[in-house]
Structure 1
Amino acid sequence: MQTIFAYRQGREANFGIAQEYIAEGFAPDLNSMEVQDRGLLKEQTQEALKIFKANYKDESFSSTAGSAERVNTVVDDAIRQYHRNVHKDYLFFKKNMVTEAEKIHDRYISILNLLISFSERSVQDKRENHGNFVKNLLIKSLSSNENLENISLRRNLKWDEEDTSVWQWFKEFVKTDDEYKQYQNLAETTFEDDKALLMHIVKNIIFKNEVIDKYMEEQDINWTEDRAIIKSLVTKTLKSISEEDDESDLEIQELSYNWEDDKEFFIMLFVETTKVEAEYEELISKKTKNWDIERIAATDRIILEMAICEMINFPSIPVKVTINEYIEVAKKYSTPKSKTFVNGVLDVIANELTDSGDIRKSGRGLIDNK
């Protein structure tokens, strides 16, 4: 959803850029020796803008309505520029959507490495005895895992270049933490003690500390959005470590059970939603009595269009599953009233599209659709 929203924001920006281009096309030439008819230039600017706004969505449009050839030429150039920029953004967001999603896994790996880095700093800290943390069995399991090591090296996800920050975090937030101190004071630690400490560091220091959080946001614009997923992957990894396991048995979590299929789904949903946006807006407007389509929250419009696109283009997904999923999206990303609005509109549209045959489900998609 964020990608489609960003794409549309970019499209609006391109619309503004095209209008600026038109205005510049009729700006007085200050270097010209000829007298500039500023009144005429202003009139031609308004004329060109009017033609552009009425026809900019048609990429093949060629203006003949201008009072002068210059007006037609500027309008045509502005439309070509607009569509060229929109297409460039489309390709960027289509690719970037997948790239940004894959970064979630990189952040997950980097947090596992941060735990290892904290342990390494404890070894280097000669002022205090960090014996229990140095011997932590879960840290040993992470440090000895070849898969984690290979992924980290291949993607450059170690903390070696951030030594100053890691040292600061360890000294100011880890070693001064009350639970860490209690753990260090234990005469002997159990495997469960080791696990409990790492879970505490993850939940209450790495993912709650404002300084660390700010650093993560600076490194990754999507950190705030992805934080919960990354935290879940890290905690699942720690919980999965068993005292009986060999270090090599540590299971690195995947972004999904079948990322290649999910990636294909994301791309197709993006492509199909952007492809038929106008058609869906008309469908939505018919089912939103007393609502001006332009006044509906931008996120709600995107949510509705994506849901309709999914219902039509993915026959194996039950309609009720789609509606429920996008209600949850509305709860998280839109206004307090959005969930009720989205639920009501999608329910009506789903029934109509099913009756008309536009929604055709098969296999698993037939579940709960009666």
Structure 2
Amino acid sequence: MINRILIRMKVVQMLYSYLLTRSDFNILPAPEAQSRDKRYAYSLYCDLLLLLVDLSGFKVSNFEGRPRIERVEKRQKNDSSRIAQALASNDEMADIALAHKSFYDALAPMRLRLKTEVRESSIYKEYSRKKNIPEIQEEVAMWKAVFSTVLLRDAQLQELIKGNPEFTHVGYEQALAMFDSTLSDYSSVRSSLVDARRGLEQSLDKAYELYHSLFQLMIDLTHLRELQLDEAKHKYLPTHDDLNPRLRFVENQFIKSLEENEDMQEYLKENPISWVDDDVTLRRLLDKILESDIYKKYMDAKVTDYAADCELWYQLLKNVIIESDDLAEALESQSVYWNDDLNIMGSFVLKTIRNFASSEGAPVKLLPKYKDAEDERFGPGLFEKAIADRQDYRELIDECLVESRWDPERLAFMDIVILTTAIAELLNFESIPTLVTVNEYTEIANYYSTPKSGQFITGMLYAIINNLKKSGRLVKE
């Protein structure tokens, strides 16, 4: 019942929040106290970060303007450049590269030899031979060991490092500790990723809760009207109409079937839902219902049957309740997810009401949370792939940006997230046609991003698809 349209939206939402709040690399700031030890420590710390990027297959260019850090070597089987890619994507590294151009230039005569030493080391070879793609913690451990046992023991590199006029032994040790801390911080990304996964699951759970909550809203509105009619009978001077109310609305057979529905009762046992405490919203919605032509036509009909009772709530939900600003405010106060979910979940509630109508009063099954096990796995799988390979996907995006001459600096962050998720779907879900993926993420861009994003996302995705097909990475239609 939670379909892939909603799942895609949820993955985009969670990926946006995760990437927006999580910096993969926490580059330490320059120290405020400018002692010689601290000045040298921070300078060497930046040099080591630049060295890691350089030895991982990246180059720095355009020192005259704002430097660009770009990959020049292809990814290997067991990629050891994820840390470097994260560094290269960090805006602070461009400033570091510019400030440390002299160190970068000094690496030139020893660059090839240092790369060879790294790749010939037993540490690097053991990492490269792993059968499965190494975890990020393993890459962090590999680079820490390579720096301490290979690079920092190289005589020529040591001469360059200690040739800095600011060199101090204390500063040297502090720089190594800072470098180690930064790599460890990158490794800790796993804990925030667990929180993001949990957030995705909770968001989908809340969507299914909204499905039931809309049904409960109909029940509670009916009970409120019943209470109003009863109170009118007992007021000081009741009128004839107060004493003889028309009960068609409160005796609606669809509402009775819904209250007795086994699936609804079972869900409420585990997830108690009630709108009774939100008396203001209930009364405002009920007032809108009683004033509506839909209600008046229903109450004035000569006869009604089960189908008519279902049709009443179908029309009220579609044209009065879902369109109400009062409901929107109430949903926003109850869950940060629900306003975005309302139209999709509302459509499933309407579909369920149709099922009740066609059943002619026989027991009806409410829609399950997911259509099948494949749909249940789709969201977590898509999110995992988008997170795990986002650096690769960003390179695909940047490649097409260069071809299109679009300035990467002007690209909306949400557009990057949408494209990243779409590429993850293109490359990892063979049963989903490319046209479906393009159309779905174009719609998401129209909903979440800038006014021109839909058209931009469409063009970018077709360009990315063409490049992926040329390289043989994408073979489906």
TM (norm. structure 1) is 0.79
Q: How do 1:148-159 residues align onto structure 2 when only pairs under 5 Å count? A: 148-159=264-275
Q: Which residue of 1 aligns with 2:21?
A: 10
Contact 2:45 2:175 in 1 (8 A): no
Which deviates further from its counterpart, 275-284 or 57-66? 57-66
Q: 1:131 aligns with which of 244, 247, 259?
A: 247
Contact 1:110 1:152 in 2 (8 A): no
CA displacement at 1:150 relative to structure 2: 1.3
Contact 1:52 1:79 in 2 (8 A): no
CA displacement at 1:153 relative to structure 2: 1.8
Deviating beyond 6 angstroms after TM superposition, the runs of 4 or more aligned structure 1 residues are 63-66
Measured against aligned partners, the alpha-carbon deviations of 1:163-196 in whole angstroms (never above 9, x if no partner) come to 6346534654434545434544555434454234
Distance in 1 (CA, whole Å) between partners of 2:256 and 2:287 is 23
Contact 2:298 2:312 in 1 (8 A): yes
Contiguous gaps of at least 5 residues in structure 2: 1-11, 53-82, 88-139, 153-160, 162-166, 233-241
For the residue of structure 2 that corresponds to 1:132, the secondary structure is coil
CA displacement at 1:314 relative to structure 2: 2.1
1:140 aligns with 2:245: no
1:115 aligns with 2:218: yes
Distance in 1 (CA, whole Å) between partners of 2:48 and 2:342 is 43
Q: Which residue of 2 aligns with 1:71?
A: 175
CA displacement at 1:46 relative to structure 2: 5.9
CA displacement at 1:261 relative to structure 2: 1.1
Structure number, greater radius of gyration: 2
Change in Cα spacing, 1:176 to 1:328, as seen in structure 2 (3 Å) is closer
Distance in 1 (CA, whole Å) between partners of 2:187 and 2:200 is 21
Q: Which residue of 2 aligns with 1:359?
A: 474
- Aligned letter for 1:210? D
1:96 aligns with 2:202: no
Q: How do 1:259-274 residues align onto structure 2 when only pairs under 5 Å count? A: 260-274=373-387
1:80 aligns with 2:184: yes
CA displacement at 1:262 relative to structure 2: 1.4
1:218 aligns with 2:333: yes
CA displacement at 1:111 relative to structure 2: 0.8
Change in Cα spacing, 1:223 to 1:53, as seen in structure 2 (3 Å) is farther
Distance in 2 (CA, whole Å) between partners of 1:254 and 1:98 is 16
Change in Cα spacing, 1:169 to 1:48, as seen in structure 2 (3 Å) is farther
Contact 1:310 1:322 in 2 (8 A): yes
Contact 2:211 2:345 in 1 (8 A): yes
Distance in 2 (CA, whole Å) between partners of 1:315 and 1:74 is 44
Q: How do 1:159-308 residues align onto structure 2 when only pairs under 5 Å count? A: 159=275, 162=277, 164-165=279-280, 167-169=282-284, 172-177=287-292, 179-186=294-301, 188-242=303-357, 245-248=360-363, 250-258=364-372, 260-288=373-401, 289=403, 290-308=405-423
Distance in 1 (CA, whole Å) between partners of 2:48 and 2:223 is 62
Q: 2:431 aligns with which of 316, 339, 355?
A: 316
Contiguous gaps of at least 5 residues in structure 1: 28-36, 362-368
Change in Cα spacing, 1:264 to 1:44, as seen in structure 2 (3 Å) is farther
CA displacement at 1:344 relative to structure 2: 2.7
> RMSD in angstroms over aligned alpha carbons?
3.2
CA displacement at 1:7 relative to structure 2: 1.2
Change in Cα spacing, 1:232 to 1:191, as seen in structure 2 (3 Å) is same
Which deviates further from its counterpart, 167-176 or 2-11? 167-176
Contact 1:175 1:181 in 2 (8 A): yes
Which protein has greater RCO, CA pairs closer than 8 Å, 6+ apart? 2
Change in Cα spacing, 1:81 to 1:208, as seen in structure 2 (3 Å) is same
Change in Cα spacing, 1:187 to 1:247, as seen in structure 2 (3 Å) is same
Contact 2:386 2:424 in 1 (8 A): yes
Change in Cα spacing, 1:11 to 1:131, as seen in structure 2 (3 Å) is same
Distance in 1 (CA, whole Å) between partners of 2:260 and 2:212 is 14
Measured against aligned partners, the alpha-carbon deviations of 1:199-219 in whole angstroms (never above 9, x if no partner) come to 233123321222221111111
Distance in 2 (CA, whole Å) between partners of 1:101 and 1:132 is 36
Change in Cα spacing, 1:100 to 1:41, as seen in structure 2 (3 Å) is farther
Distance in 2 (CA, whole Å) between partners of 1:49 and 1:292 is 31
TM (norm. structure 2) is 0.63
For the residue of structure 2 that corresponds to 1:241, the secondary structure is helix
